[in-house]
Amino acid sequence: MGLMNFLRNRAGVIIVVCIGFAIFAFLLGDVISYGTPFWTRNQNQVGSINGEAIDINEFNAQVDQTSEMFRQQMGGGTLSPQMKSWAVEQVWGQYLNRELLKKEIDRIGISVGKIELNELVQGDNPSMQIQQAFRNPQTGQFDRDQLNNFLSQVRSLPQGHEAYGQWETLLQNVIDERLNSKYTSLLNNSIYVTTLEATEEYNQRNKLANFEYVLLDYNSIQDSAVTITEQDYEEYYNENKGVFKNAQETRSLEYVVFDASPTSQDTARVRATIEELKTQLAESTTDSLFAAVNSDTKYPYSYRKKGEFSPALDSLLFSVPVGTTVGPVLSANGVFEIAKVVDSRVGPDSVKASHILLNPATEGGLDKAKAKADSIAALIRKGESFAALAVQFSMDENSKINGGELGTFGRGQMPAQAIENAAFDGKAGDVAIATSQFGIHIINIVDQIGSSRVIKAAIIDKQVNSGRETMDAAYGKATQFFSVLNKNNFQETATQQSIAIQKADNVTALETSLTGTEVPRELVRWAFEAEKGEIVDKIHESNDKYIVARLTDIQEEGQLPLEAVKKDIESVVRNRAKARTLIAQATEALKGAGNIAQVGEKLGKAPVLAENIVFANPIIPGVAQENAVVGTVFGLQPKQPSKPVSGSQGVFVVEVSGFVNPAAPTDLNAQRRQITQSLSQRTSSLAFRALQDKAKIVDNRARFF
């Protein structure tokens, strides 16, 4: 009862306190949220462009597709971290291009109408994307019948069907391509080159200057004889401030590498292993199984023609009888290979085929699927339409719309070995049945092209890797170095232990290597979380190397301060300081001198002749590119020495001997068109860069890749 009276008497105070606490908690939550790293509040976003979030799952799917494209272009195998990084960069660029141009296109009001879209799909000149998607594999040309067949099939499919979704994606790509083309045309049509501009451009490329010069080289003054002041640095920095802008945040590191590359002992160890495997392979009666179990690389056990094996094995395999085991041979990338010739025959180079795929799971089991395949094959052999049966029965959505066509393919191009074996082992006109990891295939061999000798070989390879002893020795050195490090003794310790320090400047958040040394992404992520001067948290391993690093500098995005660029501009600033001394010498020599010969005589230097120099290519033979000097030349009157000019290599005094004016252009309009075309080639990239500079872009890729 006493508690109730207490609450009643102080209810107002309690309510105020509670409300105050609630407001404080709300504000505190905002503060905590504000101070929380972006990645903890947007854990599924790889970034955003003008507020449009990019979901990591969608982005990853695009990266996987691009990576697979790269992998196929490289002939299969595993992508290197560098190639994966390129795939990420390409997809990010696509997102940027789409979002930035979309906003600009919407603002301007550019669109693609229904009639225009229909022309782009089925008109006399369809979009290149349509032509590429419906290309005849034999002729390489656009196949309009294939497009019409697809459209007749896709119209009958529900909107949720996979093929329908693929068509919608293709249409959107066609629309985007057309919108971008219109936007680019709009930009290009805004370019206008005047007659005066065309004439000036023509003269800059064709008017010749002949002149003499005296050069006072910067190297004539010792670096130690020049004192660079803070004002020298500030003057140069302020004059060139626009150059010192960081497009993105970067890091600088110094690091040491402890090499654990294979030694001669490691090579001998792997050779002994492969020699033993060669003996066993020669005696084996299960060649393909033995090779699959013992090889580092699981090579396809299929027929291949000359030139399709590794260079080291190729000539050997085609020069020995069936049953011979060859090798070991050592390839350039440090791999020992052996191979046993299992069979040799003459077979087609490529096959044109179609197939119908049955899924045993939906047919009631493997036996029922095989029985159904036999029935369908029998119908085809009696003359039923393969294409119609493919549309009716095939589970392969990609090929059924085209009547089951697989196109023309060579050896090693089919994802299912069973399809390839059936297609190449049969003959044109056969209908074969094969079982693969995808299901049961009814295969129609339409045609077989070419004829070559092919070999089936069981191949075993072994990579020469560093052994435990080699790795332990390198890791021991890395541990010895790492164990005594602190923020202040990195260089001192490296010197004491005779270890070379390497430096990497302007490292980006998505970097996969440091000055050519491949490094784990974990090391780069650490660099973007560490403080300046901090030592890496552990010894990092990359392939056959151990790496220890120290963060030496942080370059924030945007305008870099003078202190951050001092080291980079030191040599230029020193030359400017030397130029003051050399200009004074040249100025003194010019007093009372009537020509360049007299100036040279006073300076103890013979004038050098430069002939046929054009303004558009300001290179002085034997010296360097000298923009300021050549620019001065084209502003002088002949036979008059110039004032001293500071160039990239030293201080010049020049005197024009004469100019050779070109003949008047025969077609000034052609000159204007040429300049317009040159400007048009740059317009799109410049416009995109301007849109990118104005956009609000959040890039979180480094968290995920």
Distance between CA atoms of residues 81 and 685, nearest Å: 28
The answer, yes or no, to whether residue 27 has pLDDT greater than 70, is no
Quote the CA–CA distance of 202 and 218 in Å, as a whole number.
35
Give residue for tokens 């392969």: 396
Q: What is the pLDDT of residue 412?
A: 76
The sheet carrying 645-646 orders its strands as 608-613, 208-217, 650-660, 645-646
Q: Which of 30-39, 224-233, 498-507, 605-614 has the lowest mean pLDDT?
A: 30-39
142 CB-near residues (< 8 Å, 6+ apart): 126, 130, 131, 134, 135, 136
121: Cβ–Cβ under 8 A, 6 or more apart, which residues? 127, 130, 147, 171, 174
What pLDDT score was predicted for residue 72?
A: 62
When comparing pLDDT for 98 and 79, which is higher? 98
The C-alpha atoms of residue 97 and residue 684 are separated, in whole angstroms, by 11
- 394 pLDDT above the threshold of 60: yes
Between these two residues, 469 and 25, which has the higher pLDDT value?
Answer: 469
What is the pLDDT, as a whole number, of residue 269?
94
Between 27-41, 268-282, 660-674, the lowest mean confidence (pLDDT) is in: 27-41
- pTM confidence score: 0.62
CATH number assigned to the domain with residue range 246-261+467-559, chosen from the 4 options 3.40.50, 3.10.50, 3.30.479, 1.10.3470: 3.10.50
CA 551, CA 252: separation in Å to the nearest integer? 6
In whole angstroms, give the CA distance from residue 289 to residue 646: 75
Other C-beta atoms within 10 Å of 536: how many?
A: 20
Neighbours of 614 (CB within 10 A): 17
Mean pLDDT calculated for residue range 458-486: 93
Average pLDDT over residues 142-154: 80
Confidence of residue 76 (pLDDT cuts 50, 70, 90): low
Residue 705 CA to residue 700 CA, distance in Å, equals 9
552/516: higher pLDDT: 552
Tell which wins on pLDDT, 185 or 155.
185
Residue pLDDT, tens place only, 311-340: 888 889 988 999 999 989 998 788 999 999
Mean pLDDT of 107-119: 91
Classify the phi-psi angles of 530: left when phi > 0, otherwise alpha if psi is within -120 to 50, otherwise beta: beta
Under the banding of pLDDT at 50, 70 and 90, the label for residue 16 is very low
d(CA 423, CA 434): 10
- Asked whether the predicted pLDDT for residue 38 surpasses 70, the reply is no
Domains of the chain by residue range: 2-36, 114-188, 208-243+563-660, 246-261+467-559, 264-347, 350-449
pLDDT > 90 fraction of the chain, expressed in percent and rounded: 44
Token digits of residue 636: 């002088």
Quote the mean pLDDT of the chain.
Answer: 86
Q: Report how far residue 254's alpha carbon sits from residue 551's, in angstroms, rounded to the nearest whole number.
A: 7
Coil vs helix vs strand at 251: strand
Right CATH for 350-449 from 3.20.20.140, 3.30.460.80, 3.10.50.40, 3.40.50.2300: 3.10.50.40
Contact 590, 653 (CB under 8 A): yes
The predicted structure's pLDDT at residue 78: 67
Tens of pLDDT along 689-703? 888 888 888 888 888
Q: Judge contact between 254 and 502, C-beta under 8 A.
A: yes
Q: Which two three-digit tokens encode residue 52?
A: 């449009």
Alpha helices in 284-357 (DSSP H): 287-294, 311-317
Give the integer Cα–Cα distance in Å for 622 and 620.
6
Closest CA to 340 of 412, 277, 418, 413: 277
pLDDT the model gives residue 608: 96
Q: What is the pLDDT of residues 200-233, one digit of tens each?
A: 999 999 999 999 999 999 999 999 999 999 999 9
Mean pLDDT of all residues in 54-81: 74
What CATH architecture is 208-243+563-660? Roll (3.10)
User: Can you give the pLDDT at residue 327?
Assistant: 87
Structure confidence by residue, pLDDT tens digits, 327-384:
899 987 889 999 999 988 888 888 999 999 998 888 888 889 999 999 999 998 988 8
Task: Provide the pLDDT for residue 480.
Answer: 94
Query: 106 with 97: CB under 8 angstroms?
Result: no
pLDDT value at residue 274: 94
β partners of residue 337:
329, 461
Question: pLDDT band for position 437 (50/70/90)?
Answer: confident
pLDDT at residue 214, as a whole number: 97
CB distance 257 to 549 below 8 Å: no
pLDDT score, position 12 = 47
Return the residue matching tokens 């629309």: 175
Answer for the pair 478, 548: CB distance below 8 angstroms, yes or no. Answer: yes
Contact 654, 209 (CB under 8 A): no
- Asked if the domains at 208-243+563-660 and 350-449 fall in one CATH topology, the answer is yes
What H or E segment, with its residue span, contains residue 199? helix 195-206
**Overall average pLDDT of the 418-424 stretch:** 87
What is the DSSP secondary-structure string of 78-143?
A: PPPHHHHHHHHHHHHHHHHHHHHHHHHHHHHT----HHHHHHHHHSSS--HHHHHHTB-TTT-SB-
